[in-house]
A and B are shown apart, each in its own frame.
Chain A
Amino acid sequence: MQSKLFIYFLLIYSLSLQSESSKEVYVFANDVDQGRFYFLLDTYRCPKCQSSNLAGSNAPIAKDLKREIHRLIEEGKSNEQIEAFLSSRYGDFILYKPALRKNTLILWIGPFVLFFLIIFFVVRWNISSKKQPIDLETENIVKAIERTRLKKLVEDE
């Protein structure tokens, strides 16, 4: 039984190896360029699949863009130049981190505005609930009664 499982495991594992090996291999002049390549693939969104970055996509267009990025790196282009290349063709859409501009302002300041709004209201609600007069003595009595009730419940169990 055990060995059978093991063989199944090997079979399944070999499938994944096969799919790994079908990926294209990109060769670079040095490790820095290679690192940049994989960094850039992680940075940009695949225009076709929309919910995956270039690295994670096997769509034809993602393959083409990988090839283009590889070419641009080999030509000695900087990351900024490559970003300009991509966004001049595919727009802000492929940037996970959009540029700070008028029409993207809400993306940048929206969360902070929301955060401070929430803080503001939480604080306000806390203050207003604290304003209610609290009779300490009564509260202590209530607590004592609750405690004895709890104790009784536990003992009854």
Chain B
Amino acid sequence: MNRVTHYLPLVLFIFLILGLYTFLDREESDLRSVLLNKDFPNFSLSRLDNEEIVTQDDLLELPSILNVWATWCIACRVEHPFLMELKNESRIKIYGLNYKDDRNKAIKLLDQIGDPYEFSIFDKEGKLAIDLGVYGAPETFLIDNEGIILVRHVGVLTPEVWERKFEIVLSKLKEDAK
């Protein structure tokens, strides 16, 4: 038997390990939204703060981000200060999607800690969330001027994530507009 076939199992094994390492490590991209580069789904749901019905046409100020949140979601509290910062510095408009929550609790919480959203959509049953492919909170979507979803981020929105995933796309949008 020659030397090459002798080492073949080892070589195959190394390839297997490398393959598993690269593919299993890409959790985020495995869960990427299939809705990327597609139209924001149509919806017709009540606002959180009153009974008024809102639809996709009420997302007026585009580009903007849509942030999925809930009072039961602890990680949402972690990103909340950053959302407030985005709002206060007028860097972008934020729409909220209040996901499977209690309306009174949610309104109360925003009163206490501040409301970074233009308005929140009240999605008690998770209907719009399913159309968006949401499976938890927090999640954040970037919607461009034409109502197309460009970025999806699962998990806490940190300044670092903002820079890396959102800011890049936004600056490109601005450039294209010029």
A68 touching B135 by the CB < 8 A rule? no
Q: What's the interface size class on A, roughly?
A: 20 to 34
**Which of B29-37, B102-110, B158-166, B168-176 faces chain A?**
B29-37
Q: A121-B5, A121-B8, A124-B5 are in contact. Are A90 and B133 (CB under 8 A)?
A: yes
Known: A48-B136, A64-B126. A93 touches B1 (CB 8 A): no
Q: What number of residue pairs across chains A and B have CB atoms under 8 A from each other?
A: 46
Could you tell me if A61 and B34 are in contact, using CB atoms closer than 8 angstroms?
no
**Among candidates B12, B32, B33, B126, residue contacting A60 with C-beta atoms closer than 8 Å:** B126
- Bound together, the chains give a CA A59 to CA B5 distance in angstroms of 49
Whether the Cβ atoms of A93 and B31 lie closer than 8 Å is yes
Check A65 for interface membership: any CB of B closer than 8 A: yes
Indicate which residue in A64, A89, A121 contacts B34 across the interface (CB closer than 8 Å).
Answer: A89
Q: B32 near A90 (CB under 8 angstroms)?
A: no
Q: Is the beta-carbon distance between A65 and B1 smaller than 8 angstroms? A: no
If over half of B's interface residues share one DSSP class (helix, strand or loop), that class is named, otherwise mixed; here it is loop
How far in angstroms is the closest Cβ of chain A from B8?
7
State whether A64 touches B125 (Cβ < 8 A).
Answer: yes
Contact A64 B130 (CB under 8 A): yes
- B130 near A68 (CB under 8 angstroms)? yes
Measured CB to CB, the closest approach of chain B to A47, in angstroms, equals 4
B129 at the interface (CB under 8 A from A): yes
Which residues on the A side are within 8 Å of B8 (C-beta)?
121
Least Cβ–Cβ distance between A90 and chain B, in angstroms: 5
Question: 25 A-B contacts, Cβ less than 8 Å apart?
Answer: A47-B135, A48-B135, A60-B126, A61-B129, A61-B130, A61-B134, A61-B136, A64-B129, A64-B130, A65-B130, A67-B125, A87-B34, A88-B34, A89-B34, A89-B35, A89-B131, A89-B132, A89-B133, A90-B133, A91-B32, A91-B34, A93-B30, A121-B8, A124-B5, A125-B1
